[in-house]
Structure formats: C-alpha cells, structure tokens
C-alpha cells in the first residue's frame, strides 16, 4: 500500500505520513459521492453560487495558514504561495458571479416550434492532481463543476495530502456538503477502479504525458469523458524589434517562477540573433540576482524543488546537455547544501541531441536558442511534441500576428510571460493535453448539453 508523505524539501525532513485508503473506503467514497450528487444538483444554481462565494472569502481569510502548508509540502515560497491562493479565491468568485449566466438555458433559432439547450451536470467526477500548485489545480476542476452541480472525488499528489485535507476542511466550513467534495488518498491501482465505476462520469488529470496516456486509455475503454492538462515545453520568442530589457525581465519570471516547476514556464527561450547578446546579458544578470534559500523566509525568490528525486532529475538534464556540447553561461547564486535545491542555470548552444532541446525540463533551467530570423524562430518553437503555452515579444503588429498564426500551441502571450486568469481558458494541443479549464470553456467540459425541442 502506497503512503502519502509530507516531506519538507528544504530540509528533506519527513513531517507526516498518511496511509492510503482501503478498497472498501474507495468504494464507499464513490457511492457517497453518487448519493450526494442527487441532492446537490437539485439545489438552485443561485444557492450553489452563494456557497462558492463563501469558499472564496474563506480562502482569503486563511491565506497565511494555507500558504504555510504549501511551503512545507513542496517548497513554494511565501510570496508564491500567497499569489496562488489569491488566484484560487478569484476562481471561486468568478464562477460564483459569472457561472450561472454561462449555464442558463439558451434558445436556438429553428424554422418551426421551439428549441432550447439546457446545461446539466453529469454526476461524479474524479480529479487527479499534481503537486506543483496544490490549491490552484484543484480549484480549476472544483469551482466550475461544483457550480454546475457535479460532485468531485479528489486524488491529491502523494506529496500533498496536508494541503488537500486543508482545502476540503475549508470547503466544508463554507457550506459544501459531505460527499459533494471528497479527498481520497487512493493508489494508482484504485484509480482504475474509480474511473471504471458506473457512477463516475468523467476524469480530469493534470500531470505528465505518461500519466495522461495511462488515464486516457482507461477512461477511453470505460467511455468516460476526460480533460488532460499535461506537460509543456513552452517557447518564449524574442524578435529583433522587441524591448529587450523588458523581455529579459519577463523571461526571468516566466522561467524561474515556482522554481521552474510550472507547465507553462518559459522553458525554451528563442532569440533572434540581432538582439541575442543583449538579451542573454540581461537575462543571465536577472537569473544571477535571484535569492535562493529557505522558502519560508520572506524575500526568498527561489526555493527548493519538490523532492530530492526531482532535483536529481534536473541535474541529469544539465549534465546531459553539457556533455552534448551545450554551455552553462550562468549558474546564479550558490544553492544551500541541504535540501532539494538546484542552482538556477542558463544553457546556451544546446544541440538537438541533448534531452533539454525538446523535452520538458521541470526545474530552474533555461535553454536559450539563437536563431537567424523569425522563420527559424517559428520552426524551433514548433519542434517539440508539446503545445501548451508560449510568449512572443516584438513591436510590429503584423509580424506578431504572423507568429501567433503559426505557433502550434493552445495559448499565446504577447509581450508578457504566460499567466493564468479565472476568466481565460487554459489548455493545449498535441502532447500537452485534451480539453480546457477556466473561463466559460472550462465550465462546459463536464456538462450534458441537453436539447429540448417542441414542434
């Protein structure tokens, strides 16, 4: 049986261990969620919206306590933990305020009679969550679907049981009934049984491409709807007419935020040669200025990675790139001797043979490519199996539009690094996943679009 453990990555200290649930407990959770669905969907949408508003207020009232849990579970800095929770509160407020309008009945124009589309909940949903944003990832699934009337079974990452239980406690206190939202510390084997259960109508996973393929296969065989938010190797393109100083500042934040552990981080920075030297100097200066250390100390810019194994993996990426011919032109400040820290690193002249050229590097390592022109920039940007987010910096509107049109991604940020908002859809193409979260599109993923026709 797999245990869920809280390990402080800043000290490698095991703080708590939670046993995985039994098969009987899994079955009871699914059945309880199915039973709770009947009453929850019957409540007026205005009532459900009011509960979501209470959740948002509760999050803002406990931001320090919730943030401290994320810091000790996965090494998130105090500032970043607070920022994540502010976004989570915004998501709940957004669906409380705008959600009812998105699922109001809609009349369709027909030649005779009347036709109406109703947006109804499906039932029990399973959410499989990662560790890098332990609250935000939950909110993207929970807020829209609780508003819609679905119920949620939440499987957290094995490293984040404490934040998962804290979030459940907060939802309960705000008025989410028992069974409507339940945390289940399930094993991978038990996840299969949950997806296959007749009461479960859909599954949402945020994680690796490997995990997405496994869950997608199980769900496909069981004919269950899936939303998969997987990896990314996002390009960050700097054209020759860009404001180089501002682009470099945005690249530091876009690549090194959350210790580089973000799906939409600026993992591949692609710079046109005319401004390459200036950009590289500005960017490496910004990386070197980052303060690396204890994430619980205010003012720390870069905390540890989520675990020792994650730090070892990133170190292997760096060593592989250097062995293939890349150069590490900046390493930033020295990292603490104890804990899952990786020195922030900038790699240049990375050859295609290196793993870091195309694969997702989930840590504080930036790969900077020099390209001759916009055509090569687009070719390099699309030369990856992923297609999540991207950023483009430049001044000519026509050229920016041409780049946007040809990027094979789900999201493009112009003259700023990728960021998330409650009212904007989030998701990608290719190996980066299926479906969208947030905004109106996220609310319509797990919904029965029911046509009512009268002649």
Per-residue pLDDT tens over the stretch 138-196: 999 999 999 999 999 999 999 999 999 999 999 999 999 999 999 999 999 999 999 99
The H or E element that residue 196 is part of is: helix 188-196
Largest CA distance in the chain: 75
pLDDT digits (tens, 9 = 90+) for 242-259: 999 999 999 999 999 999
This prediction has a pTM of 0.96
**What's residue 237's pLDDT?**
98
Residues labelled catalytic: 229, 263
Task: Classify 353 as helix, strand or coil.
Answer: coil
**What's residue 173's pLDDT?**
98
Residue range 57-82: mean pLDDT, rounded: 97
**What's residue 2's pLDDT?**
62
Mean pLDDT for the chain overall:
96
How far is CA 269 from each of CA 234, 283, 289, 349, 393, rounded to the nearest angstrom?
8, 10, 19, 12, 11
**Is the pLDDT at 56 greater than 70, yes or no?**
yes
pLDDT-based confidence at residue 329 (cuts at 50, 70, 90): confident
Cα separation, 447 vs 122, in Å, equals 6
Cα separation, 128 vs 190, in Å, equals 12
**Is the pLDDT at 111 greater than 50, yes or no?**
yes
Percentage above 90 pLDDT, the chain: 96
Q: 141: closest CA among 159, 131, 154?
A: 154
Cα separation, 128 vs 153, in Å, equals 9
**What's residue 1's pLDDT?**
43
Q: Is 398 exposed, middle or buried (0-12, 13-18, 19+ CB in 10 A)?
A: exposed
**Is the pLDDT at 273 greater than 90, yes or no?**
yes
**What's residue 332's pLDDT?**
61
Contact 43, 121 (CB under 8 A): no
CB atoms within 10 A of CB 32: 17
How far is CA 415 from each of CA 120, 250, 391, 395, rounded to the nearest angstrom?
39, 9, 7, 9
**Is the pLDDT at 110 greater than 90, yes or no?**
yes
CB atoms within 10 A of CB 68: 16
CB proximity list for 138: less than 8 A, separation 6 or greater? 88, 127, 129, 154, 156, 164, 167
Contact 43, 100 (CB under 8 A): no
Q: List Cβ<8 Å contacts ≥24 apart for 325-328.
A: 325/349, 325/351, 325/353, 325/354, 326/350, 326/351, 326/354, 326/356
Cα separation, 149 vs 408, in Å, equals 34
pLDDT-based confidence at residue 336 (cuts at 50, 70, 90): confident
**What's residue 31's pLDDT?**
98
Cα separation, 285 vs 345, in Å, equals 12
pLDDT digits (tens, 9 = 90+) for 353-367: 999 998 899 999 999
**What's residue 113's pLDDT?**
95
CB proximity list for 350: less than 8 A, separation 6 or greater? 321, 324, 326, 356, 357, 367, 369
| Token pair of 404 as six digits | 């946007």
pLDDT digits (tens, 9 = 90+) for 369-428: 999 999 999 999 999 999 999 999 999 999 999 999 999 999 999 999 998 999 999 999
Residue range 331-358: mean pLDDT, rounded: 88
Q: Which residue in this structure is represented by tokens 């669905």? A: 37
Q: Report DSSP letters for 231-256, one per residue.
A: ----EEEE-TTS-HHHHHHHHHHHHH
The H or E element that residue 34 is part of is: helix 23-42
């Amino acid at each position: 049986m797999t245990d869920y453990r809280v390990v402080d990555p800043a000290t490698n200290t095991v703080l708590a261990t939670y046993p995985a649930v039994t098969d009987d407990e899994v079955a009871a959770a699914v059945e309880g969620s199915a039973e709770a669905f009947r009453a929850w969907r019957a409540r007026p949408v205005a009532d459900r919206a009011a509960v979501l508003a209470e959740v948002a207020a509760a999050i803002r009232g406990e931001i320090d306590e919730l943030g401290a849990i994320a810091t000790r579970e996965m090494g998130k800095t105090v500032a970043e933990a607070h920022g994540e929770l502010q976004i989570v509160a915004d998501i709940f407020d957004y669906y409380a305020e705008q959600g009812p309008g998105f699922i109001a009945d809609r009349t369709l124009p027909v030649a005779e009679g009347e036709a109406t589309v109703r947006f109804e909940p499906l039932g029990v949903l399973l959410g499989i969550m990662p560790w890098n944003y332990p609250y935000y990832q939950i909110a993207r699934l929970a807020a829209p679907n609780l508003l819609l009337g679905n119920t949620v079974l939440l499987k957290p990452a094995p490293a984040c049981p404490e934040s998962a239980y804290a979030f459940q406690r907060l939802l309960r206190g705000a008025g989410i009934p028992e069974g409507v939202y339940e945390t289940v510390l399930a094993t991978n084997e038990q996840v299969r049984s949950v997806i296959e259960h007749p009461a479960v109508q859909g599954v949402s996973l945020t994680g690796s491409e490997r995990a997405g393929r496994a869950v997608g296969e199980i769900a496909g065989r069981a004919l269950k709807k899936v939303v998969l938010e997987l990896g990314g190797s996002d390009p960050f393109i700097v054209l020759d007419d860009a404001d180089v100083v501002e682009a470099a500042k945005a690249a530091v934040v876009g690549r090194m935020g959350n210790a580089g552990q973000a799906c939409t981080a600026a993992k591949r920075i692609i710079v046109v040669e005319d401004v390459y030297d200036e950009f590289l100097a500005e960017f490496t200066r910004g990386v070197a200025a980052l303060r690396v250390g204890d994430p619980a100390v205010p003012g720390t810019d870069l905390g540890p990675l989520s675990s020792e194994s994650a730090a070892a993996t990133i170190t292997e990426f760096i060593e592989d790139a250097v062995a293939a011919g890349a150069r590490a032109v900046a390493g930033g400040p020295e990292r603490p001797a104890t804990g899952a820290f990786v020195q922030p690193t900038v790699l240049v002249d990375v050859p295609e043979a290196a793993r870091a050229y195309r694969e997702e590097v989930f840590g504080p390592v930036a790969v900077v490519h020099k390209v001759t022109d916009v055509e090569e920039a687009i070719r390099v940007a699309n030369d990856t199996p992923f297609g999540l987010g991207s950023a483009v910096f430049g001044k000519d509107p026509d050229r920016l539009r041409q780049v946007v049109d040809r990027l094979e991604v789900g999201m493009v940020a112009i003259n700023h690094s990728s960021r998330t908002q409650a009212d904007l859809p989030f998701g990608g193409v290719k190996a980066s996943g299926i479906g969208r979260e947030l905004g109106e599109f996220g609310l319509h993923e797990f919904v029965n679009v029911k046509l009512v026709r009268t002649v």
